[in-house]
Structure 1
């Protein structure tokens, strides 16, 4: 059961990295177009800036979830490292519980924000609902909560090697 959960979370983790990476890549392609149209063509496109901002929001929340699982998030451990071992264990559990509370806040308030703004449309992109632009907040909260629960129940996975699924599937097919 544990291995199945870890494999599922590995896929979620890789999905988060892929979405965050694709967001950054798309931003790097969109921003030069906005600069080109503004300074070379003399008439700026209206969509590159708001699209890049939305992609930055996607990158932030999906990247934060992946960063949390990888143990690459910001952490100040100086005070905790000086505590006795039993207190350190208690502090680690307390931190995870508080992270779960933050995730639940992101999920509930994020979905409420998305729901309350669903019938509004972005001025720069009239075809896009404002509620959609807020969806990365609760989705990122759900993803981070999955990794928080994983850390609480299965331990820290940041030092475990993530299995590449394309290699795994090829080796299973050859066997």
Structure 2
């Protein structure tokens, strides 16, 4: 795979990671603000729950590709680690392809939802009245990125499948562990 493509992918993931940090900080501040307004001044905000609910969806969907990239999703590996290296790589190819297929189905269906929300001008029935196309659009974007990451993982697993002795196994070490 081209170094420029991988550098661009790494850059995109860094931007999304930074945006997720900003979103998380914003959520913490607005939730604290709402709690103070509600319990101290008896004047809760009308927008905090809605905005933070949509931002939580953003964090989950947009962070999925980054979690997949760092092999941070939860899974059961008891049997997979007992297989020979070539079989482990083949399992990686199969799961990568299945993950990519699932992701691209979600892109397709999420795209339909977002388009219909845009086409019909749907809005959330709340005081803020957020256009539903905004949260719905995170689905095809986030799952598209996840699908691309699954394809990258599949490509790497395929290389390990062809040359298991030449390709090092990905490190399971968690950053910060001693």
Fold shared, TM-score > 0.5 on shorter chain: yes
Q: In structure 2, what is the equivalent of residue 99 of structure 1?
A: 99
Tell me the TM-score normalised to structure 1 length. 0.82
Name which of structure 1's ranges 125-134 and 22-31 shifts more when overlaid on structure 2.
125-134
Residue 26 of structure 1 and its aligned partner are, at CA, apart by 0.8
Name which of structure 1's ranges 27-36 and 13-22 shifts more when overlaid on structure 2.
13-22
Tell me the TM-score normalised to structure 2 length. 0.81
Residue 148 of structure 1 and its aligned partner are, at CA, apart by 1.5
Residue 74 of structure 1 and its aligned partner are, at CA, apart by 1.3
Q: In structure 1, what is the equivalent of residue 137 of structure 2?
A: 135
Q: In structure 2, what is the equivalent of residue 111 of structure 1?
A: 111
Q: In structure 1, what is the equivalent of residue 11 of structure 2?
A: 11
Q: In structure 1, what is the equivalent of residue 88 of structure 2?
A: 88
Q: In structure 2, what is the equivalent of residue 27 of structure 1?
A: 27
1:148 aligns with 2:153: no
Give the Cα separation in 2 of the matches to 1:117 and 1:56. Answer: 20
Identify unmatched segments of 5+ residues in structure 2.
Answer: 161-168, 172-178
Q: In structure 2, what is the equivalent of residue 45 of structure 1?
A: 45
CA contact (8 A) 2:100 2:148 kept: no
Q: In the comparison of the two structures, how many residue pairs are matched? A: 159
1:56 aligns with 2:35: no
Q: From the two aligned structures, give the one with the greater helix fraction.
A: 1
Residue 154 of structure 1 and its aligned partner are, at CA, apart by 4.4
* Aligned structure 1 segments of 4 or more residues deviating by more than 3 angstroms: 154-159
Give the Cα separation in 1 of the matches to 2:127 and 2:3. Answer: 44
Deviation string, structure 1 residues 24-72 (Cα, Å, up to 9, x no partner): 1110011011112211221211101111111111111111111111111
